[in-house]
Chains A and B, each alone.
Chain A
Amino acid sequence: MADDFSTQELMAVYLARELNDGEILRVGVATPVAEAAVRLAHLMHGPNMELVFLGVRMNVAHLETIPMPAFGWDRRVVRWAESYSDTGHRFDRVKGWDNHVFFIGGIQVDPHGNTNLIGIGADYRRLKFRGPGSVGTPTLSTHIGRYYIVLNNHSPRVLVEKCDYISAYGWGAGGADARTRMGIRGGGPKYCLTPLAVMDFAEDTKRMRLKSVHPGVSVDTVKRETGFALEIPASVPATPAPHPDELEVLRTRVDLAGRLRR
């Protein structure tokens, strides 16, 4: 069973291992890998985690299964709420977010982890592709303890030298003080996870660097599919594979509908 897993399962398990007990995990919509990862972590090693989803703050480590939502905005999740907030309460307190974690996507991501949900095109009033809008990513990425960029696609159209518009400031124009010099408090993006690889950010330049390639993927493929020059270390390990027990919990208690295996 350990040899037979999908790329999305690999990504979900990798992210789950990144999450620590006691952290507050905020999940958005349309991010099945992140949705699965927080549930898996909560069940396997996070009995004191709290999940914040659609205004509902909950600890559900006691449940036999924590299925992923059947469709976005499924409000039945409120039955597990230990507290509920409309967006205002959610943003009424942004201090003390050091142990909060968030996950972000983007239609474009640049070498310093800045992301774009606004759109593509030189003329803002006549965009070639109008994106969905920033959701809560500017506020969340500004204050959150750390966040992960999770992409469904690793291609030169997504990983670009320069975003047409920036909706969430990652590491700006680069440099270790890229956030502090702007007075932006949160810890910023830690990794960028794609179906091909895991990237981190070099300590001094905060430029994206290849950390691992997924099993069966070559470094050359990653280079070819990235629209900018990635920093490539001398030796690039393979992304660790899921263990059988992680896959079992994932498949029987989280991803019951097999969304990560489509």
Chain B
Amino acid sequence: MNTKRRERIIDEVEAASWISDGMTIAIGQPTPMAVVRQIIRRKLKNLTVVDSGFSLDLLIAAGCVRKVVSYYAGGGFGTPVTPSFRRAAERGEIEVWECEEGILTTGLQAAAQALPFLPWRGGVGTSLPEVNRDLKVFTDPISGETLIAVPPINVDVAILHAAVADAFGNVQHFGGPGWIDLFMARAADRTIVQVEKIVANEEIRADPWKTTVPGADAIVRAPFGAHPFYSRGYYVQDNEHLRQYNDAAGSAAAGDGKALTAFIERYCRAPATHADYLELIGVKRLLSLHEY
């Protein structure tokens, strides 16, 4: 008799080993940084990355990215565009699959529903289909309207960060999942979710309507695993750390890469595990990031 249900908890090092060069990965919000740092540590290359903002910028800075699928590469701190993304795009070092939120979620949904395309209105009349030739402007066969056909965005691995999960991969968020996380999970062959806490299966069963990702392929226990980003219900973002990154990346974009190289070495390559990283950041800094 085989009666033991398989548990899905792995560590962040093993999680990153699920990703190979050239894969398409989707990264949720807040960023699952424990696994992202391991991706950088593994020196993965030529990835197609579905992501936005500073974590996308970091992956580009670390040399992992060939192609970007993003609706927004904006930063905070007075930078309308994140520096590494901007520089790499302007130099043609990365390919940009130009899109917007509606087109992106439509493409992820087409992948999830095994469709060759899904139609969308947003983008008709814009330059998007001109600069992104995968988007096809067409006339619909039913009422003759002008629409955009969005092809499926198939994802090899989606990586998310959430509040809790049980050992069987049932994930629950505090205050709702991140921006387009569920679209990413549905479009992915496999989904890895970092969580602040592992909970008993009974806690999931107490409110199954709250389960946002049922049966994720792998769960990584990573308290403060989104640092330097926020984790709703747990901690706010570490603005000082992000500003440090932003300054280093800005200098690199302007020609002086020393600070950025040092930042990536110190925070991404040197710490062998997430626990090593947290020791580096320090308890006092982490505890200062309280929400209230």
Which residues does A use to contact B, with CB under 8 Å?
29-30, 55, 71-76, 78-79, 81, 84-88, 91, 94, 107, 118-119, 121, 124-143, 165-169, 172, 182-185
Contacts and interface: CB of A to CB of B under 8 A. Distances in A.
Contact of B176 (A74, A86, A118, A128): A86
Contact of A183 (B124, B131, B176): B124
Given A30-B80, A139-B102, A182 B85 contact: no
Contact of A139 (B81, B101, B239): B101
A143 B101 CA distance: 14
Contact of B74 (A30, A74, A141, A185): A30
Interface string B87-109: 00111100010111111010001
Given A130-B96, A134-B72, A134-B98, 11 more contacts: A29-B74, A78-B176, A79-B175, A87-B179, A94-B121, A126-B92, A130-B85, A130-B86, A138-B126, A139-B101, A184-B121
Interface in B230-246: 230, 232, 236-237, 239
B73 A133 contact: yes
Question: A-side binding surface: helix, strand, loop or mixed?
Answer: loop
A126 B91 contact: yes
A130 B79 CA distance: 12
Size bin of chain B's contact surface: 35 or more
Contact of B105 (A88, A121, A182): A88
B288 to A, nearest CB: 15
B123 interface: yes
7 contacts: A30-B74, A73-B230, A86-B180, A121-B90, A139-B120, A165-B131, A166-B127
B183 interface: yes
Contact of B126 (A74, A121, A126, A169): A169
Interface of B: 30, 52, 70-74, 76, 80-82, 85-86, 89-92, 96, 98-103, 105, 109, 120-128, 131, 145-146, 175-183, 230, 232, 236-237, 239, 291-292
Contact of A130 (B52, B90, B100): B90
Give me the 8 closest cross-chain CB pairs, A-B, nearest first. A139-B122, A139-B102, A169-B125, A78-B175, A84-B176, A134-B100, A136-B101, A130-B89
Given A134-B100, A137-B100, A88 B182 contact: yes
Contacts of A121: 90
Given A167-B126, A169-B126, A76 B180 contact: no
A22 B71 CA distance: 30
A134 B105 contact: no
Contacts of A125: 92
A137 B178 CA distance: 19
A88 B120 CA distance: 13
Nearest to B174: A78
B212 to A, nearest CB: 9
Most buried by A among B81, B85, B239: B81
B230 A169 contact: no
Contact of A134 (B86, B99, B181): B99
